[in-house]
Copies of this chain bind each other. A is one copy, B any other.
Amino acid sequence: MAFTPAELDYLGSQRLGRLATVGADGVVQANPVGFVVEDGGTIVIGGYRMGASRKFRNVAATGRAALVVDDVKSLDPWQVRGIEIRGRAEAATDPEPPVPGTTTEVIRIHPETVFTWGVEPGEESMTRRRED
């Protein structure tokens, strides 16, 4: 799935996303993470202790994740914007870390469904599209 230019600009402007994962035991968790977008639209999430983290084990066990990147654009009037990405996920070990100083263990999300709100110029309501 390719992101639009406006979506790529927005994703590049935000320092943190929040990652949702679930373990084999059904316990759900939510964590702030740094991320990069690879060519082709895959999301790569690294970290300083990624390989030892429960989120990494969760993805290894269940193969699913979602990342939401969003912020409050304006308090008055109340305007929010963001992108939610749901997809298949893998707990991988890459040859090089995605960002210098992070580990080579990464979570990679292959988007299946993307929701956006307030990101495209003039966009007022939620949009949705699905990869096939």
Contact = CB atoms under 8 A, between A and B. Distances in A.
A68 to B, nearest CB: 4
Contacts of A67: 30
Interface stretch (A12-20, A36-44, A92-100): A12-20
Query: Chain A contact residues: over half helix, strand or loop, or mixed?
Result: strand
Contact of A66 (B20, B68, B72, B82): B20
Given A18-B68, A20-B21, 6 more contacts: A20-B20, A21-B28, A27-B86, A28-B64, A31-B68, A32-B82
Interface of A: 15-16, 18-22, 26-32, 62, 64-68, 70, 72, 75, 80, 82, 84, 86
